[in-house]
Amino acid sequence: MKFLRNLLAAILGCLIAFGILLVMFFVFAALIGSSEDSISVKDNSILELSLAEPIYDYVGNTDSDPFASLFSEGVGLDDILHTIRVAKTDSRIKGISIGTSFSQSGMAQTQEIRRALADFKSEGKFVFAHADFYSQKDYYLASIADKIYINPQGVMDFKGLLSEVLYYKDLQEKSGIKMEVIRHGDYKSAVEPFLSNTMSDKNREQIQELISSIWDSMLEDISESRNLSKTNLNKIADTLGARLPAYAVNVGLLDGTLYHDEYQTILREKVGIAEENKLNTIDLFDYTRYAKTKGKKTSKNKIAVIYAQGEIFYGEGSKDFIGQGAMLSTLEKIRENDDIKAVVLRVNSPGGSSLVSDIIWREVELTKAIKPVVVSFGDVAASGGYYIAAGADKIVAEPTTITGSIGVFGTIPNVSELASDIGVNAEQVGTNANSADYSVFEPMSNTFRATIEESIEETYKTFVTLVADGRGMTFAEVDAIASGRVWSGVEAQKNGLVDELGGLEKAIQIAAELAETSEYSIRKYPRYKSEFEMFMDDFSASKSKLISSMVKDEIGEEAYQTLNSLKRMSQNQGVQVRLPYNLNIR
């Protein structure tokens, strides 16, 4: 009887839980539906732009997902750009107010948003900016504005770019936990922090040239918008000439200091409404929900835009990492779809697994044999990110894109010193000379190291060869700019790794030209499971995300990213084609 009572109680509990979830589903659906219906855009409105949320190139096809706004973390760059384009032709939107501090967009993403804002202004509409704090990236975005203001007690950061790389050699020696490293390439310094406590001359050289090129691209745009020479801008940076708001105004970087209510008055005057009247504003992300079905081209002819973002790992893939599963099924569908006339592969990745990179490269090659393939690079397209793009018909990059890094390395954790210190001894028994393979509890044998080195050298030769074939270069020409070295988009175009500079729109235009079609619509891929679907599929995944969020809130963003970097490096087992360091530019 006790067993039956417990069984009935368990069944009843499950039914109640299911009922609660079902009620929640309909309540959420009703709330979201009514929220979308209530979105209205009033006359004389100002669109408010803030990039405080994490910015992905693509968050997935969320149009049919009613729970996207509740469960999704971050916003898609594609949605932001489309929203600004819709606002450009919306007569009710008179201008845009940029209110960004500590934006979470990447540098190339910022450059693309900036370009969209310039296009918005071409319609005769205004863009103003106001913030309490301007980081250099925030200011770079705001510099496109007609007028830029700051809080009188605000802070202006304009001193040139800096890159910081952390080194762990002493930590390994003290802890007894280390990474066994095998690499090819003088510049392949992703593993340098495990081998040294100081930066090598080769690494310092490439970082200096990279950030100098990115800084020069930023100054080029700021110079044009603010009518200040690059020489003047560098002088301001060198002398910290914008360290106080008043100084920044005097040197021409800003137009004035205003409190938020004073800035609101300026906006009222701009749209021509009285001081006592309420200023009509609409948040970018609210307007995005209105704009997502507006202004989209319709045509039987399609151009497929495939988003490949994040590190490259073996698996299905998601908006956070690139896996061969989603990429292969997507490319296969596209090859079989006669309505799709061309493909744009949008890459934003520091690389990862060489095996997965090669699998995706092969599928791109098969697709290119049938339809034109153009690649658009985002913030970073390095190592494996470049590998999967190397065979495309054309490659387009932003001037600030970090690209190249044609090199290979392998990292394998080893705890033999720690094991010895704490009294742990591993004994192995095998049938053949090399059946014992590798143990993290024993020092790496010369035989095993030689085997890995052979694999890395073979992978490097394959990498350079496919780049040479794809770019119409010789092996020697690619090898001379490879060895794991990274380049800005500007430098990559000069050395032949990139064809043209520009954003996703330019890549789409080139794809349309190659497909010889002027009328087309865009279809985005892949379609990932929504956050709600994953929540329902696996409660533990949601629990993990909740814990990660709590840790981030507790220790801060910078410490959290450092922790993540260490975690990712420890997971990078086997041969890797990855960005040569965890680059923190600020």
Determine contact, residues 283/45, Cβ cutoff 8 Å.
Answer: no
Highest mean pLDDT among 32-36, 248-252, 290-294: 248-252
* Run of H or E residues at 54: none
Q: Which of 534, 524, 383, 560 is nearest to 77 (CA)?
A: 524
Q: How confident is the model at residue 33 (pLDDT cuts 50, 70, 90)?
A: very low
| 514 and 548, same domain (yes or no) | yes
Measured distance CA(327)–CA(385) in Å, rounded: 13
Distance (Å, whole) CA 387 – CA 577: 8
**Bridge-partner residues for 309, per DSSP?**
348
Band the pLDDT of 34: cuts 50, 70, 90.
Answer: very low
Whether the per-residue pLDDT at 194 is higher than 70: the answer is: yes
- Kindly report the average pLDDT of the chain as a whole number: 85
| Least reliable range by pLDDT among 127-131, 329-333, 532-536 | 532-536
Q: With respect to residue 98, please indicate whether it lies within any of the assigned structural domains.
A: yes
* Number of domains within the chain: 2
Of 118-132, 284-298, 336-350, the poorest mean pLDDT is in: 284-298
User: 219 lies in a domain?
Assistant: no
Report yes or no: 131 and 100 within 8 Å, Cβ to Cβ: yes
Identify the H or E element spanning 404.
Answer: strand 402-404
Question: Looking at residues 301-330, what average pLDDT do you find?
Answer: 94
**Residue 459, both tokens:** 């992978």
Residue 573 has pLDDT above 70, yes or no: no
Average pLDDT over residues 93-109: 92
- SS3 for 93? strand
The mean pLDDT value for 74-93 works out to: 94
In a shared domain, residues 506 and 366: yes
Q: Same domain, yes or no, for 466 and 348?
A: yes
* Residue bearing the bigger pLDDT, 134 or 562: 134
Catalytic residue among 137, 178, 188, 270, which?
188
Cα–Cα distance list, 393 to 15, 344, 435, 477 (Å): 56, 10, 45, 19
Q: Which residue has the higher pLDDT, 435 or 260?
A: 260
Run of H or E including 149 = strand 147-156
Rounded average pLDDT over 533-540: 53
Q: Is 383 assigned a catalytic role?
A: yes
Does residue 188 form part of some domain? no
Residue 30: predicted pLDDT: 46
**Does residue 350 sit within a domain?**
yes
Residue 60 and residue 134 share a domain: yes
Average pLDDT over residues 119-138: 96
Instruction: Identify the burial level of 41 via C-beta atoms within 10 angstroms of its C-beta, where 0-12 means exposed, 13-18 middle and 19 or more buried.
Output: middle
3-state secondary structure of 128: strand
Distance CA 375, CA 51 (A): 26
- Asked if 94 and 270 touch (Cβ cutoff 8 Å), the reply is yes
Residue in 353, 383, 483, 488 annotated catalytic: 383
Residue whose pair of structure tokens reads 């701009």 in the numeric block: 270
Of 266 and 569, more confident: 266
Side chain identity at 73, as an amino acid letter? E
Same domain, residue pair 92 and 149? yes
Q: How many residues does the chain have?
A: 586
User: What is the model's pLDDT at position 576?
Assistant: 62
Residue 151 confidence (pLDDT): 97
Question: Which CATH number belongs to the domain containing residue 258 in this structure?
Answer: 3.90.226.10
Q: Which of 291, 326, 355 is the last residue of a domain?
A: 291
Is 188 noted as a catalytic residue in this protein?
Answer: yes
Residue 26 confidence (pLDDT) above 70: no
Shared domain for 268 and 334, answered yes or no, is no
Distance (Å, whole) CA 564 – CA 147: 39
Please choose, from the candidates 51, 238, 227, 223, the residue with its C-alpha nearest in 3D space to the C-alpha of residue 161.
238
> Do 263 and 381 share a structural domain?
no
Percent of the chain whose pLDDT exceeds 70: 80
**Do 90 and 136 lie in a common domain?**
yes
Strand partners, 332: none
Give pLDDT, residue 38.
Answer: 59
| Of 99 and 411, more confident | 99
Q: Where are the alpha helices (DSSP H) in 227-315?
A: 230-238, 245-250, 260-271, 284-291
Above 60 in pLDDT, residue 543?
no
Q: Half-sphere exposure of 437 toward its Cβ, with a 13 Å CA cutoff?
A: 3
Assigned domain for 36 exists: no
| pLDDT confidence tier of residue 14, bands split at 50, 70 and 90 | low
Is 528 in the same domain as 557? yes
Residue 383 sits in the same domain as residue 476: yes
Q: Give residue 99's pLDDT.
A: 93
Averaged pLDDT for residues 551-574: 55
Q: What is the mean pLDDT of residues 328-338?
A: 96
Is 190 among the domain residues? no
Q: What is the structure's pLDDT at 32? A: 47
Is pLDDT at 16 greater than 70 in this prediction?
no
Q: What is the mean pLDDT of residues 477-490?
A: 92
- In contact, 378 and 58? CB cutoff 8 Å: no
Q: Across residues 158-182, what is the average pLDDT?
A: 89
- Asked whether residue 534 is assigned to any structural domain, the reply reads yes
Residue 368, in any domain of the structure? yes
8 A C-beta contact, residue 558 and residue 334? no
268 and 308, same domain (yes or no): no
More confident residue, 2 or 440: 440
- What range does the domain containing 57 cover? 41-159+240-291
What band does 449 get if pLDDT is binned at 50, 70 and 90? confident
Which pLDDT does position 27 carry in this prediction? 46
**Cβ neighbours for 224, distance < 8 A, ≥ 6 positions apart:** none
Q: Minimum mean pLDDT among 202-216, 242-256, 384-398, 526-540: which range?
A: 526-540
Among residues 291, 311, 331, which one ends one of the domains?
A: 291
Tell me: do 462 and 362 sit in the same domain: yes
Apex CA 572: angle with CA 449 and CA 308, to 5°?
Answer: 135
Q: What confidence tens digit (pLDDT) does each residue in 507-532 have?
A: 999 999 999 999 999 999 998 765 55
